[in-house]
Amino acid sequence: MGLKRLTVNLRIAVVQLNPQIGHLEETVVRAHSLVRRVERYQPDIVVFPEFALSGYSFHSRAEISAHLCRPQEGPAWEFCQQISRKLSCVTVMGYPERGDNQQAYNSALVVDEEGKLAFNYRKSFLYDTDEEWQCAENPAGFQAFELPLKGKARDHDGHVHDVKLRSAIGICMDLSPYKFKAPFQECEFSTYQLEHGTELLIVPMAWLHASSVTRDTADPATGKAEIARTMDQLGLPLHGSQNQFQVNIKLRDGTCEEECPGNGTLTSAPSDAGVASSYSDLSRPDQQNLDYWTIRFMPFLACKWRENWFVEKALKPILAKFKGSRFTYLGSSLKAPWLFENKNALLVLCNRCGAEDGATVYAGSSGFLKFNGQYGNEEEILNSSNRSVELLGNLGKGYEGVIVRDVSFEIERDL
C-alpha cells in the first residue's frame, strides 16, 4: 500500500444557454436540443450555467418566488434527472432554491448517473442582483465533496480504478473578492480549494460582459442605449442570440465537430460606442474575462516569486493575520513555496450568454482550464498565457452552444 499516481480520463460537455425569465419551456427545448447534439459521445459529466433554465435578473423576492424550488423538486431537478438517467452521466445545473424558514438560495444541483442527488451547493459570495431578491449566503461557506466515478482512473500499469474525485462547485461571484471589497490577493475560493486538495472545480455562472450596466455605471441611460445599438448592429434582438448554436467537439480519438453561426461580428462601431463595441466576434471568447478567471485561481498558478517569499520567511506575519483560518497565501505555505507544485486540477467554467433587462450582457466563453502544477520557479506571466495553465477550449461570448472535451489529469491515491 502507498501513494500511486493515477490518470483520470473524463469526457465533459458544457452547455451554454441564454435563458430568459418567463420563457422556461423554450429554454428547456433548446437545452434538450444541445444535449442531443452530444449524447452519442456519451459524456461523463454535463454542466449547465447558473440559473440555467429560469433566467437570472430577478429584482425582488416577489419576482423570483414562483421560481424557487426545493433541491429535489421543480424543472431543474426534473431536467437533470432526465439527462443523467438517459446518458448515465453526472449533471450539474444552477437553479433558485427554496430553503427553510423563508430563506432562498442561489444553488447548483449535482445529480449522479442514476438520477440521485449527489450534492447541492449554495452560493457563498453574492452578487448585487442576488441581494435584490434577499438571497441568503451559504451558511456552510465554501465546500468540497467527493464525486464517485466508476472506471475513470488508470494507474501506470494499466489497471483501471474507480475513483472518488475531490470536487467542488463554485457559483459565479464565488470567484470574486467578497462583496468586491476583500483584498484581491486573498483569492478566497481558490485558496479554500487548494487547501482542501480539490481536483475537479465546476463553476456555473451568469458572468457579465464589460458592456453591462451595473450599479457602478456612471450614465446608465447611455449604457443601455449603447447595448441596444450594438445588438441592432449585430442583427440581434435586445436579449441576444438564441437558437443559433455553436458546437465545438474535440475528442481524444480524433473526432472533431465544429459549427459556428452567422457573422456575429461588428464590421464597424461608432467612435463613441465605448466598451459596448467589444461585444462583437460572438463566436470568440471574452479574453478579458478569461484572464480574470485565471488570475482568481492564483494559488494554482505558477509564480517564480514564491521561492523568495519562502526563503525570506515573508509569509509568517501575513498568515498570522488570518488567525488559523487558512495556512496558505497565494499558494504558498510555511512548509512549501508552492503547495500545488506537481499536482493537477481541472476547472470547468459554464457561463450563460445573451442579455437581460436591456442592461445586463453576459460574457459566455464557457470552457476548460487545466492547472498542471509546473514551471513554479520560472513563470512570471499572471494571466491565461501562464504556462501552468492549459486552455483546453472555450465557446464564444455570444452564442448558445455546447463544447465537449476529453480531459486527462493526474491525482494521487493510497492504493
Q: How many CB atoms lie within 10 A of CB 228?
A: 15
* Residue of 6, 42, 51 whose CA lies nearest to 24: 51
50 is catalytic: yes
The three-state DSSP-derived secondary structure of 177-215 is CHHHCCCHHHCHHHHHHHHCCCCEEEEEECCECCCCCCC
DSSP lists the bridge partners of residue 366 as: none
**CB neighbours of 349 closer than 8 A, spacing ≥ 6?**
14, 203, 205, 293, 365, 366, 367, 368, 369, 394
Coil vs helix vs strand at 29: helix
Grid cell at residue 141 = 461557506
Q: Which of 69, 80, 113, 123 is catalytic?
A: 123
Catalytic annotation, pick one of 50, 226, 356, 379: 50
DSSP line for 73-141: SHHHHHHHHHHHHHHT-EEEEEEEEE-STT-EEEEEEEE-TTS-EEEEEE-SSPPHHHHHTTPPPPTT-
What is the rounded distance in angstroms from the CA atom of residue 393 to the CA atom of residue 412?
Answer: 26
Q: Kindly give, in sequence order, each residue whose CB lies less than 8 Å from that of residue 12, ignoring residues fewer than 6 positions away.
A: 43, 44, 45, 46, 47, 348, 368, 404, 405, 407
CA distance 43 to 404: 8
* Options 69, 80, 172, 187, the catalytic residue: 172
**How far apart, in Å, are the Cα atoms of 253 and each of 11, 41, 211, 256?**
12, 11, 39, 9
Say which residue the cell 473578492 belongs to: 177
Q: How far is CA 245 from CA 15, 279, 354, 365, in A?
A: 10, 17, 12, 13
Q: Which three cell numbers stand for residue 61?
A: 423576492
Three-class SS state of 145: strand
Tell me which residue of 156, 158, 69, 166 sits closest to 109, measured CA to CA.
69
Residue among 362, 338, 328 at smallest CA distance from 212:
362
> What positions carry a catalytic annotation?
50, 123, 172
